[in-house]
């Protein structure tokens, strides 16, 4: 396993949720961090909590020009992590706004592809890209047409990019239900009840924590042989 000490890691979506947890974990191992998100307030908060020397940028991940400019400022680095994404678009398929669905794809799929396009030429030898999906692609529920389809697209793209960008390693993390800010739109009591209900149905008896999933991102950056792979960390969600 390679060390992350002094490696330069770019985390797009690294100011909250899984991205922030991955940045924290990498920073604790001595990595040099670059984080970016669409909101300056989140960037400022992340910089106040992450190790000294962390660099932060704001970037609209639906805008190709902004992503290109971002990497122009970042320069050479070792690993790219992409966790950016809006809240999941759930609901009755007949009532889904196609415009909203396209927006979801813009952030999670096209944003990741654009980041890979402009980031890959800057990745040093031995480096990698780690993307993010979710188990809804394998086990969708009613009302999950948009998330399940875009997550499936992410997984197919990961395999294609691993072939296209070799020897850069390209892998993807597939979490189950994780306690992150993505759920903060719900009242706290409803949110905790949901976590208790969902967690009780899992083989682990609980939902995941962002810090637990972060270890998977670190593993995929540090290992040097696997590419084009999806690592599922879901508490047994696809089995229940």
Q: What is the model's pLDDT at position 57?
A: 98
Indicate whether 2 belongs to any domain: no
pLDDT of residue 174: 97
pLDDT at position 199:
94
Domain count, the chain: 1
Containing structural domain, residue 214: 8-235
Q: For residue 146, with 0-12 CB atoms within 10 Å meaning exposed, 13-18 middle and 19 or more buried, which class applies?
A: buried
Report d(CA 221, CA 77) in Å as an integer: 13
Residues making up the chain, counted from first to last: 240
Could you tell me how far CA 121 lies from the centroid of its own chain?
Answer: 20
Would you say the C-alpha torsion 183, 186, 192, 198 has a positive or negative sign?
Answer: negative
Q: Is residue 83 part of a domain?
A: yes
Query: Is residue 153, in this structure, part of any structural domain at all?
Result: yes
pLDDT at 89: 83
Q: Which residues lie below 8 Å from residue 140, measured CB to CB, with a gap of 6+?
A: 147, 148
Residue 1 lies in a domain: no
Integer Cα distance of 69 and 190 in angstroms: 41
Q: Confirm whether 32 is domain-assigned.
A: yes
Residue at 3 is within a domain: no
Q: Is 240 within the bounds of a domain? A: no
> Nearest Cα to 173, choosing from 212, 133, 140?
133
Q: What is the reported pLDDT for 158? A: 98
Q: Please name the residue that has the structure tokens 């009302």.
A: 143
Per-residue pLDDT of the chain (240 residues; tens, 9 = 90+): 889 999 999 999 999 999 999 999 999 999 999 999 999 999 999 999 999 999 999 999 999 999 999 999 999 999 999 999 877 788 899 999 999 999 999 999 999 999 999 999 999 999 999 999 999 999 998 999 999 999 999 999 999 999 999 999 999 999 999 998 877 777 888 889 989 999 999 999 999 999 999 999 999 999 999 999 999 999 999 998
Residue 88 lies in a domain: yes
What is the pLDDT, as a whole number, of residue 183? 77
The pLDDT of residue 73 is 98
- Evaluate whether 90 touches 143 at the Cβ level (below 8 Å): yes
CATH number at 204 reads 3.40.50.720
């Amino acid at each position: 396993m390679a060390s992350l000490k002094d490696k330069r890691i770019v985390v797009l979506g690294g100011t909250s949720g899984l991205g922030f947890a991955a940045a924290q974990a990498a920073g604790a191992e001595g990595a040099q961090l670059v984080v970016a998100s669409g909101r300056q307030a989140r960037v400022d908060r992340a910089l106040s909590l992450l190790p000294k020397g962390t660099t932060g940028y704001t970037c609209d991940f639906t805008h190709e020009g902004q992503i290109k400019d971002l990497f122009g400022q970042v320069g050479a680095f070792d690993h790219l992590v992409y966790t950016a994404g809006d809240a999941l678009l759930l609901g009755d398929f007949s009532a889904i706004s196609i415009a909203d669905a396209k927006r979801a794809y813009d952030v999670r799929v096209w944003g990741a592809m654009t980041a890979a396009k402009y980031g890959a030429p800057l990745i040093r030898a031995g480096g990698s890209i780690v993307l993010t999906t979710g188990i809804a692609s394998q086990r969708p529920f009613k009302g999950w047409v948009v998330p399940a389809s875009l997550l499936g697209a992410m997984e197919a793209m990961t395999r294609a990019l691993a072939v296209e960008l070799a020897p850069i390693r390209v892998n993807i993390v597939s979490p189950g239900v994780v306690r992150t800010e993505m759920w903060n739109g719900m009242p706290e009591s409803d949110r905790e009840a949901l976590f208790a209900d969902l967690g009780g149905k899992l083989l682990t008896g609980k939902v995941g924590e962002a810090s637990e999933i972060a270890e998977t991102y670190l593993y995929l950056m540090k290992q040097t042989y696997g590419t084009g792979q999806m690592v599922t960390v879901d508490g047994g969600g696809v089995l229940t």
